[in-house]
Amino acid sequence: MATERRLRILMVLEAAYPALRGGGAEAQVRTLARGLRARGHSVTILVPRLPWVPTQKISRFDGAAVCRLWFPRLPLLGGPWLWLRMAMLLHARRERYDAWHVHIAHRMGAVCALMGQWLDKRVLTKVSGWWELEKGTLAPRAGLVDRLACRALRSAGTWQAISRRIAKTLESRGIPADRIVLLPNAVDVARFAHITRDAAAPTPARFVFIGRLEAEKGLATLVAAFAMIASSHPDASLLLVGSGQLEHSLKDEVQRLGISGRVEFAGHRDDIETMLADGNVGVLGSRIEGLSNTLLESMASGLPMIASRISGNEDFVRDGQNGWLFEPGDRAGLARCLSEAASLDPATRTAMGEAARATVRASAGLDQVLNRLQQLYVGEPRPPHCAVVGRHRSA
């Protein structure tokens, strides 16, 4: 049962906010802040002041206060300046917030962990993706500054792991299991509840990918796999929604493969609901993720998912029930999944999509995640991390 009293939450994000064009951690902060405010709670978002986004010291976004800390953009000086200013702010406002929720386990999170231990504040530290574990402060071969930050982070009272694989990795890196909570990213399922598909209409497969057009998303493999099944499924099409460094090279490759009439590049779009409604099978072939917001949103819109077997995807996609899994980078394996999905009759495809919607609603729906977060914010007892997100459930 979620707590009934009004909470004051400080969310710490080591990134620009609001983000110009997406960003997984930024999107989650926005989703949670909106949800908490709708329940009557107070949310402040603390970020560094960066030059490519709004630079006001204090502003409001979606009704939540955004506090931006200025620091000099100078090597060696900028980071310590930011951390000192942050420590001073946390000390000065130590009575203002009930809990601090760190959304990227990096250097600002380390400051929160140290100050939280000193000031006896509840600190929830989230590992938002594999970058922190392999490139950032938690990486096995991190540099000196990040090794020191990692030592500080270990004092955080509670760790939020958004996937089973991240939870296991944290445990293997020395974080006690009883301090790890397996709690996924949240999706506002109400945003996508209006999206329905006619199970009786003879609609051909319309695959849709939403995300950045970058190498880690596995898009070269996707385009090549789609070309492999194009002749055997002449009515199938592929919609790519997003922008990024690979846009021009992907368009050239689509042209070279002779499938330009079957692949649509929609560019960056803010009307994600409209884009999801335009498809009937979702695709996410990333090589690396924490837990993709795109995966959750696609499933919440009733799309069965073709997804690589990586962190997050493997927690939600059940092969043959609400989607298909393949090994990352496996072009032939992805082509088999695409072919199987394209061969389905609309009724079966729609039923799998509804199973996907039910899976996300049960485990990652905004209300469920907020209820659990509110318990953590007030320090209520938590079950072992493996029990927070249960086994896969059928629709």
- pLDDT (tens digit, 0 to 9) for every residue of the chain, 395 residues total? 445 789 999 999 999 898 876 678 999 999 999 999 999 999 999 999 988 777 889 999 999 999 999 999 898 899 999 999 999 999 999 999 999 999 999 999 999 999 999 999 999 999 988 888 988 899 998 899 999 999 999 988 899 999 999 999 999 988 999 999 999 999 999 999 999 998 888 899 999 999 999 999 999 999 999 999 999 999 999 999 999 999 999 999 999 999 999 999 999 998 999 999 999 999 999 999 999 999 999 999 999 999 999 999 999 999 999 999 999 999 999 999 999 999 999 999 999 999 999 999 999 999 999 999 999 999 865 554 444 444 433 33
Backbone torsion region of residue 177, taken as left when φ is above 0, otherwise alpha when ψ lies between -120 and 50, otherwise beta: alpha
Q: Are 62 and 199 contained in the same domain? A: no
The label of the residue with tokens 């506002």 reads: 188
In a domain, 2, yes or no: no
In a domain, 130, yes or no: yes
- What pLDDT score does 38 carry? 96
In a domain, 266, yes or no: yes
CATH number at residue 122: 3.40.50.2000
Q: Are 36 and 174 contained in the same domain? A: yes
Q: Are 133 and 225 contained in the same domain? A: no
The label of the residue with tokens 């899976």 reads: 359
- Which own/partner pairs from 357-360 qualify as long-range (CB within 8 Å, at least 24 positions apart)? 357/189, 357/192, 357/299, 357/300, 357/301, 357/302, 357/395, 358/393, 358/394, 358/395, 359/299, 359/316, 359/318, 359/322, 359/392, 359/393, 359/395, 360/187, 360/189, 360/296, 360/299, 360/300, 360/316
Q: Are 180 and 201 contained in the same domain? A: no
Please report the DSSP string for 213-263 in residue order.
-SGGGTHHHHHHHHHHHHTTSTT-EEEEE---TTHHHHHHHHHHTT-TTTE
Q: How many CB atoms lie within 10 A of CB 222?
A: 25
Number of domains in the chain: 2
Backbone angles phi, psi at 38, to 5 degrees: -65, -25
Contact by Cβ (8 Å): 43, 33? yes
In a domain, 348, yes or no: yes
Q: Are 193 and 304 contained in the same domain? A: yes
Q: Are 237 and 375 contained in the same domain? A: no
In a domain, 3, yes or no: no
Q: How many angstroms separate the first and last alpha carbons of the chain?
A: 24
**Structural domain range at position 262:** 189-363
Q: Are 88 and 137 contained in the same domain? A: yes
| Residue 355 DSSP SS3 | helix
Q: Are 372 and 357 contained in the same domain? A: no
Q: Are 147 and 224 contained in the same domain? A: no
- What pLDDT score does 55 carry? 80
Q: Are 48 and 170 contained in the same domain? A: yes
- Range 247-263 burial, b when 16+ CB lie within 10 A, else e: beebbebbeebebeebb
Q: Are 74 and 27 contained in the same domain? A: yes
Contact by Cβ (8 Å): 46, 67? yes
| Residue 14 DSSP SS3 | coil
Of 19, 11, 12, residue with least CA distance to 53: 19
- What pLDDT score does 304 carry? 98
CA 248, CA 229: separation in Å to the nearest integer? 23
In a domain, 228, yes or no: yes
In a domain, 239, yes or no: yes
Q: Are 136 and 175 contained in the same domain? A: yes
In a domain, 54, yes or no: yes
